[in-house]
Each structure stands twice: as structure tokens, then as C-alpha cells.
Chain A
Amino acid sequence: MNRKELPLNLDELEEYLTEELGDDIKEFRTEEIEKGLSKKYMKLIWMRVIKDSFRDAVKAIADIQTPHLSVASGSDKGDFVELIYHFMVNYGFAEQETAINLKVHLPKDDLAIPTITDIVPGAITTEREKQEFLGIDVKDIPDDRRMWLDENYPEDKYPWRWDEDGMEDMSRHVHEKEQTFEEPVSERVKKEEKDGE
């Protein structure tokens, strides 16, 4: 890529990303939110790419500037799992930082996605988390050990899934627990009972 002068504004970013990825982009929208009394804007891009060109999209973003990967969020949407990688570019320039929210849909029967740790080494924590919490199979991940959950948890249960692989049945519901203490009985009731006998 011929490296452009930073920072890129929203139109330039849109032009660049559509040029690099073409028809692989399925959804694309930009957003500007007004902030403060002095009318400055927070800039966001929401885009979804097809699963096969996910790595190309990450590479394209990484070509702009060493990307800041905030986190990857994910959710169970029934037939598929949606992952959103929140990248930040244009940091270091006042009021220019743009969030690129890169979505990718993974069908339930093939929950695999290639790793991006070779492009963004800082992605390792969030990739490990996605494996553990959504049951995503991250291909070629350098470190696939469990991170957050207890070692005694079943290997095929994932907290953020809503289907039969979820953890609904494992929550404790402490507030619904049976009360074990005896009901306090007032002196009056005791006396009445005694009199009854």
C-alpha cells in the first residue's frame, strides 16, 4: 500500500477500505457523534466482512498505522456467532481517532477463525478469552490455555452462549436459596398454643 499521510478522515478511510476489500464488505456505515460544547465529533466506522477475507481486512487496517486493538467482543445470535474487533486508528492526533468496528459472522457448525496475533501481537488476551467464553476455535493461536474460568468447569460449556452449550443451568441464584432458619414465634402465639393444649 502507498502509505497515506496520517490522520485519515472518514471519507479517506472509507475510500481506502472499499478499495482494499471491494465486495468482501457486506455492511458499511460511518457515524459521527457530537461531543462537548465546542461541537467536536467522535468518529466511528462499523463494517462487516465475509469470514474468508477477515485476515485481509485486519492487514488493511494494520497498514494504516500500528493498530490499537481495544478488544474483540462477541455474542451468540442464534444461528451464528458475531465477533466484533474494535480497532482504533489515527491515535496520537487530537480529535482524529477513529474506531473501526470490524464484524465477522461465524456459523455455529464452523466456529473457526484465523488468529491475528502475527499482525497484532496484543490480540492474544482477547483471542484466548473468545475461545473460552464463546467456544470459538482460533486457528494457530500461539497459546490456547484457559485463562479465566475455574479448572473444574466442563470443557464444552461457554458462558456467553445462549444455546445448550451455555452456562444458564450453572448459575447459583443465591437469592432463591431455601431459608434454613426457623421462623421467629412471638410470645403471644406461644402462649395461645400453650393454652390450646
Chain B
Amino acid sequence: MVKGKATYEVPIGPIHPALKEPFMVNFKLEGEKIVDADPHPGMNHRGIEFMGMHRNPLKVIPLAERTCGICSIVHQHMYTTALEHAVDIVPTERSRYIRTIMMELERIHSHVLWAGVAAHEIGFDTHMHFTWKIREKVMDLLEAISGNRVNYSMWTFGGVRRDIEEDMHPQIKETLDYYKDLYDKLEDIFLGDPSIRHRTRDVGILTKKKALELCGVGPTVRGSGVKKDVRIDQPYSAYPDLELDYVIPSRYGYENKGDVFSKTLVRLKEIIQSIDLIEQCVKKMPEGEITSEPNKAALLNKLKTASGEGIGRLEAPRGEAMHYVRLTEDNEDVDCWKIRASTYNNLATYAPMFMGEQIADIPIIAACIDPCIGCMDRAEIVDIETGVKEEYTKDELHELSVQKTKDLLEGIDR
């Protein structure tokens, strides 16, 4: 037996179905308390940038889309806008509105999905199934517009490949109304329920100073009161024409605490914001062509000798992301391509958020930056001094988290 304080190391992961950066996190523990967190990404590294630099610019669009399945619009949008910037292709006005509608629909589906994952992590599987049920409504709309549930293949240089016609407007309206009706229930569950509040308030705090220093992005830092939102700061597509404001907790009478609760609040309020933005888009959508480059063969021929560099940025559901693309005259393929997804920047914010928290809080804090599901595949405890190994499976870790909710519930006055 070890006397005094022993430090344990708990590697959690590694298989985690995220973007380019799935990770395992290595925790150092003193008893129940986390004293250090060290993320190890790379278990899902497919070398997409390398492959992209061996293909011609048109072939890269489907590859860019397959960087991540949850944010497939994000990567194809950034890649196409970066290349449009590099070679001065101007997307048509109508296509900008269609792009915006698609991106906001994806934000709704992503945030609803996240709410379900968060509920699952703290042991409310009923809520998880509830949110996944209501998510299917927006998936139906996305399928009606693009023809596929995931990986929409909508983007092309100079615009989009499918139009949103007049006869689709009733379905869009019906979907938005469905979410408006349900929104109060969602907010009641995630912000009003005392047991969820106990699990999320003052857990995983990211201070505003740390958030700025570590270059965090998206709802993760907006929960701390940082005003960073590419849609407003550096508007793209149709956002310059729309009315929107930074979603930070203080706007709704809450404190900018930066804990899991604040991040939940920001994500939920963004669902309402997205509904509003889509309504504005549908109202303002101009007539016209959907792509400015209908002839793909001529475009490809032009891109073979084109040169230039450009960046494409957007506010993904998980925060700011960007692509850098460069073409040169003597290289038919993409000369340089860099993908930067949101979780890449938010990775560094794990360490301050985990510090001083308990093992049972690992699932919810790990989920609160929205790194996509399932990172708790396997956890192993290694006692540094004795070298004794204990194994924590995903289920056991989940059990611990559920148990903590139960313990808290007993102490709550209902």
C-alpha cells in the first residue's frame, strides 16, 4: 500500500470519433482530484492534407467534406471559399443565401445532438433519446434539400449544386415552427432542472483570461463572455445582410462564468438564433443563378494554371475554423492546404477546465467543448509508485458519473 498522497495517471481514450483530432487524455489524479490533464490526439489521423496536395482542386471538394461527418458543411464551405478567394471566383448572390441556410440548419442539428450527448454523459438517457428524436426533424429537411442525411455534397466553386425552391418553403417553415414549439421544453430540461444544474454549475470553469490566451473558439469561450464570432467579426456568405448579435450568457441575465452551464446556455440560445437567421434568409433570398461556374471542365482547365492563395473562415457549430489554400502555376494539384478545425484550438482549453475537478466529472467536461461523442472508450489507472494497474471501462466511468447525479439528487430539495 502507498502511504501519503499517491498520484495516479488515468489515460482516457484513445478511440474517439472526432474530426482530424480525436484524442486520448492523460489525467494525473490525487485521490479523486484531477491535478493535470494532457491530451493526446492523433488516433484518427488520416493524412487528409497530404492526400489533398496530390489531387486536383475539384477532386478535393468531396475529400474536404469527409474530414468530419458531423460538420461536413463546415469543411467543404471553408475549402471552396478559400479557393474562391485564391483565384477570385465570386459566388452568386442566391447561392450565398442557400449556403447560409444550410449552415444554420447544420448548427441546429449539431447543437441538438450535443445536448443529447451531454445529457447521456450525466446519466439522463431519457433526455438523450428525446433530443435525438427531435433532431430527426432537421435531418429530414436537410435530406429534402440536399438528398442526403449526412455529407450533403452541396458546395461547388462559385455557388451550390442544388437550389432551395419556392415549394420547399412550407417544409422549412414547418421545421422551424417545430423547434420553436419545443424550445421551451429543451430550455426547461437543460437550464431549469435542478439536478442538471447541480452537475453543470461551477464545473469545468474556463476563465475569460485563459480563454483569450489559449485562443479558444466558439461556444466554449463565448460561455466565458469572450466576444468572438466570425459571423459578426468577419462576416461571410449572407451574414453581412442579416441581423445577429454575440450570444454570451450576460445578454440573457446570467453570469459569464465559463462553466458547463454557461456553455449549455450559449448552445441552446444559438438554436433560437439559427431559427431567426434562417427566417431572415428565406425572406431576403434574391433570385438568380445558383452557381457562377456551371462549366466544370472549363473551370478545371482554368484552375490548372491559376495561382494565388486564400483563406476561408467560418463559425462552425463548435467555433471558428479555417482553411488555407494555395495554387501555383506549375502545379496542377493543390499546392498547399491546411485544415484547422475548431477542436484543434479548444484542445488546449482542456487543461484549465479539468484542473481540480473529480473523476466523475470527466465525461461532462470532456463533452462540453463538443468534441463529438464517445471519447471514453477505455480508461486505465496506473499507480506511479506501485505500478499497479486498474482498468476503467467506458461503462464504469459512465456509472461513476451517473452515481454522482444520484448522490446529488438525494441532497436536493425538490
CB within 8 Å of B: which residues of A?
Answer: 33, 35-40, 42-44, 46, 66-71, 73-75, 84, 86, 88, 90-97, 99, 101, 120-126, 146-150, 159-160, 167, 171
Q: Once the chains are docked, how many angstroms separate the CA of A147 from the CA of B240?
A: 38
**Distance, CA A126 to CA B345, complexed state (A):** 9
The answer to whether A160 and B50 touch across the interface, beta carbons within 8 angstroms, is: yes
Whether the Cβ atoms of A91 and B336 lie closer than 8 Å is no
Q: Mark B369-409, 1 if CB is under 8 A from A, else 0.
A: 00000000000000000000000000000000000000000
Is A122 within 8 A of B348, CB to CB? yes
Contact B340 A147 (CB under 8 A): no
Closest B residue to A96 by beta carbon equals B233
Asked if B234 and A36 sit within 8 Å, CB to CB, the answer is no
Chain A: CB-nearest residue to B209: A66
Residues of chain A within 8 A (CB-CB) of B340 are 70-71, 73
Nearest chain A residue, comparing its CB with the CB of B45: A148
Can you offer 18 A-B residue contacts whose CB atoms are under 8 A? A36-B235, A36-B240, A66-B212, A70-B322, A91-B228, A92-B226, A92-B228, A95-B234, A97-B230, A121-B214, A121-B348, A122-B348, A125-B347, A148-B41, A148-B42, A150-B42, A159-B49, A160-B49
Does B49 contact A71, Cβ atoms closer than 8 Å?
Answer: no
Judge whether B49 and A149 touch: CB under 8 Å.
Answer: no
Choose from B47, B216, B311 the contact partner of A86 (Cβ within 8 Å): B311
Contacts of B240 in A (CB 8 A): 35-40, 95
Enumerate chain A residues within 8 angstroms of B50, measured Cβ to Cβ: 159-160, 167, 171
A sample of 13 more A-B contacts (CB under 8 A), given A42-B234, A92-B226, is: A36-B238, A44-B311, A71-B338, A74-B338, A92-B227, A93-B233, A94-B232, A97-B230, A99-B313, A101-B311, A125-B347, A147-B40, A148-B42
Given the interface pairs A68-B215, A121-B348, A122-B345, the reply to whether A40 lies near B42 with Cβ below 8 Å is no
Q: What is the bound-complex CA distance between A185 and B253, given in angstroms?
A: 75
Q: Does B239 contact A (CB under 8 A)?
A: yes
Given contacts A122-B213, A147-B40, whether A94 and B241 have CB atoms under 8 Å apart is no
By beta carbon, the residue of chain A nearest B335 is A75
Q: Which of A91, A148, A167, A171 meets B227, CB within 8 Å?
A: A91
Measured between beta carbons, the chain A residues less than 8 angstroms from B49 are 159-160
One digit per residue, 1 when the CB lies within 8 angstroms of any chain A CB and 0 when it does not, for chain B 121-138 equals 000000000000000000
* B93 beta carbon closer than 8 Å to chain A: yes
Whether B348 lies near A124 (C-beta < 8 A) is yes
Produce 1/0 per residue, B199-219, CB < 8 A to A: 000000000000011111000
A195 to B180 Cα, complex, angstroms: 76
Query: In the assembled complex, how far is the CB of residue A19 from the closest CB belonging to chain B, in whole angstroms?
Result: 25
Cα distance A5–B70 when bound, in Å?
40
A120 to B335, alpha carbons, bound, how many Å? 28
Q: Which 10 A-B pairs give the minimum distances between C-beta atoms?
A: A36-B240, A122-B215, A73-B338, A97-B233, A148-B42, A71-B340, A75-B336, A92-B227, A40-B240, A122-B214
Complex: how many Å from CA A101 to CA B49?
20
B236 at the interface (CB under 8 A from A): yes
Which chain A residues lie closer than 8 Å to B320 at the CB level? Answer: 68, 70
Q: Give the distance to chain A from B21, nearest Cβ to Cβ, in Å.
A: 8
Taking the complex as formed, is B85 at the interface, i.e. its CB lies under 8 A from any CB of chain A? yes
Whether A37 touches B93, Cβ cut-off 8 Å, given contacts A91-B228, A96-B233, A122-B216, is yes
Give A71's nearest chain B residue, CB to CB. B340
Let me know if A99 and B311 touch, CB within 8 A: yes
A2 to B230, CA, bound (A): 28
Cα–Cα, bound, A46→B313 (Å)? 16
Q: Complex: how many Å from CA A62 to CA B288?
A: 44
Query: Please, how many angstroms separate the alpha-carbon atoms of A125 and B344 in the complex?
Result: 7
Contacts of A84 in B (CB 8 A): 324
The answer, yes or no, to whether B147 is at the interface (CB within 8 Å) is no
Q: A38-B241, A68-B215, A149-B42 are in contact. Are A92 and B233 (CB under 8 A)?
A: yes
Q: Which chain B residue has the least Cβ–Cβ distance from A120?
A: B215
B286 contacts partner chain A, Cβ-Cβ < 8 Å: yes
Q: What is the bound-complex CA distance between A109 and B398, given in angstroms?
A: 51
Within 8 A of A (CB), among B1-56: 21, 40-42, 45, 47, 49-50, 53
- Which residues on B sit within 8 Å (CB–CB) of A39? 240
Chain A contacts for B336, CB-based, 8 A:
73, 75
CA distance A45 to B360 in the complex (A): 46
Chain B residues closer than 8 Å to A150, beta-carbon distance: 42
Q: Please indicate the chain B residues that have their CB under 8 angstroms from the CB of A148 in the complex.
A: 21, 41-42, 45
What CA separation (Å) do A168 and B303 show in the bound complex? 24
Give Cα A36 to B232, complex, Å. Answer: 13
